[in-house]
Amino acid sequence: MAKTPANGSARTPRRKDGLSRDVIIQTAIELLDGGGESALTLRALTVHLSTGYGAIYHHVADKGDLLSTATDEVFARVLTGAVVDTDPRESLRRLALGLFDAIDAHPWVAAELSRQPWRPALLDFYESIARLLDALDVPARARFDAAGTFMSYVLGEAVQNAANARHLADNGTDRAAFLDAAAAHWAEVDPGKYPFVHAAVKQLREHDDREQFLAGVDIVMAGIATLR
Amino acid sequence: MAKTPANGSARTPRRKDGLSRDVIIQTAIELLDGGGESALTLRALTVHLSTGYGAIYHHVADKGDLLSTATDEVFARVLTGAVVDTDPRESLRRLALGLFDAIDAHPWVAAELSRQPWRPALLDFYESIARLLDALDVPARARFDAAGTFMSYVLGEAVQNAANARHLADNGTDRAAFLDAAAAHWAEVDPGKYPFVHAAVKQLREHDDREQFLAGVDIVMAGIATLR
DNA sequence: ACCTGAACACCGTTCAAGT
DNA sequence: ACCTGAACACCGTTCAAGT
């Protein structure tokens, strides 16, 4: 096969296997992971899938559909891989860390998250949290506030971390160089006017993102534990 | 002066008063507040300022510069208007609520926030929080984690709320109708599979966003109080 | 120094036409 | 039903030319 078209102005060969919504989404995720949000263009999709625009629009409503479905897919993977522990407290930490790591690995989901914070995949996440809080004897009356606070903290921290991850990927610098540059920049702030920021810079250099995140999870859980 | 050009294909009259970076930023904020992020286009700016593209690019680096400066401006207003209370706990709540309300009033800052979570204006915010935590006798060792957790919660909740605010503005619906629609949509989830989500729907209908936010602030502060 | 606006290189999306 | 790709309406940005 693979015959060269006789006609010089021949179209590019059409793909043999049928296109499907799923392969489009998977390719979109690859593009997003590879080059961030700006790497996902309809043009790039047609090239990677060796197809035309209409073919894509036949399976997908628009670019927003593409982005939100890709985000759902990423979250679905997290929940599938979530390991359950017998200790609810530990399960909560693992669940939170799974989301944190997922957004770190796919920083582009943060943008989609701030556009649509209530995607179906997050319903499962909410349900899991609420169930674990119930296991921790958080009274029903307080569960609504507690679960919401927990989710807001996790998403807030994840969004911030995603911004760092994106900068790291964009500049091609490694973590140490990035933190040094950030610390050097922050160190310029007037220590007289910003004593606490100044003090934080030192900790910034030696802190571990995931440990700091978990420290926050523990703080939120300790606060929830006071609700009786 | 003000002579009519003899030439029929004359250019639109150039503005008399000089353009400045500040009027550009203020106009950008007006456009963003009026129609969301998509309303800020260079074209719209030239029309509103009755000027050309080059004039704008003479005062501003690019659209990103425009967005981040506009965001700084919004945060600066919050910190200027922040009322200090003698009680550090109350000051923290007011500070948090000020940020919450600002993002509610200017939902487009949420997108910029997830792009660049460490704008200079947020340094002041961080500094204020750390100072108040110090006043609350949070030990220096724990302050880094505590202040970071507090900020992540506030920003996370604000980003989620901004998404709601944007949907409300886009659809032109009022709050009650929006919540009803959301609740109706959520109510479709299987109560057997999602008992806690199902229970949350009822609370969603009668909950107040700001009160829920403050409940979360209290939870985080209670958690911080356990750090000794 | 400050401003004008045609021109350029890109987007997402549509749709008549093909198989 | 599924796909092609030229065409369209928009972007942000540049830059030779004006004052």
Subunit contact A114:B114, Cβ cutoff 8 A? yes
Q: Could you tell me the distance in Å between the CA of residue B54 and the C1' of nucleotide D19?
A: 14
DSSP for A78-123?
Answer: HHHHPPP-SSHHHHHHHHHHHHHHHHHHSTTHHHHHHH-TT-HHHH
In chain B, residues 149-188 whose CB comes closer than 8 Å to chain A: 149, 151-157, 159-160, 162-163, 182, 186
Interface test with B, best of A119, A219, A224 (most B CBs within 10 A): A219
Subunit contact A157:B156, Cβ cutoff 8 A? yes
pLDDT grade for B79, boundaries at 50, 70 and 90 = confident
Q: Percentage of chain B with pLDDT > 90?
A: 65
pLDDT at position B13: 52
* Chain A: closest CA distance from residue B75 (Å): 17
If you measure CA to C1', which residue is closest to nucleotide C3?
Answer: B55
Query: Could you identify the residue written with the tokens 């009022």?
Result: B174
pLDDT at position B34: 95
Q: B6 exposed, middle or buried (CB, 10 Å; 0-12, 13-18, 19+)? A: exposed
If you measure CA to C1', which residue is closest to nucleotide C19?
Answer: A14
* Chain A: closest CA distance from residue B163 (Å): 6
In chain A, residues 37-66 whose CB comes closer than 8 Å to chain B: none
According to the per-residue pLDDT averaged within each range, which of A4-8, B180-184, B203-207 is highest?
B203-207
Q: Could you tell me the distance in Å between the CA of residue B33 and the C1' of nucleotide C1?
A: 32
Q: Could you tell me the distance in Å between the CA of residue A31 and the C1' of nucleotide D5?
A: 22
A145 → closest Cβ in B163, B212, B224: B212
HSE-CB at B212 with a 13 A cutoff on CA atoms is 23
pLDDT at position B14: 55
Query: Nearest nucleotide, C1' to the C-alpha of B59?
Result: C2
Distance of CA A17 to the CA centre of its chain: 31
pLDDT grade for A3, boundaries at 50, 70 and 90 = very low
> B152: which residues sit within 8 A by CB, 6+ positions away?
A153, A156, A157, A160, A216
- pTM comes to 0.90
Chain segment A7-42, per-residue pLDDT in tens: 333 345 556 567 999 999 999 999 999 999 999 999
Chain segment B107-164, per-residue pLDDT in tens: 999 999 999 888 888 899 999 999 999 999 999 999 999 999 999 999 999 999 999 8
* Chain A: closest CA distance from residue B131 (Å): 7
Phi, psi of A16 (to 5 degrees): -75, -50
Terminal Cα-to-Cα distance of chain A (whole angstroms): 73
A184, pLDDT greater than 50: yes
Subunit contact B145:A212, Cβ cutoff 8 A? yes
Identity of the amino acid at B83: V
Q: Which nucleotides of C are covered by protein (CB under 7 A)?
A: 2-7, 10-17
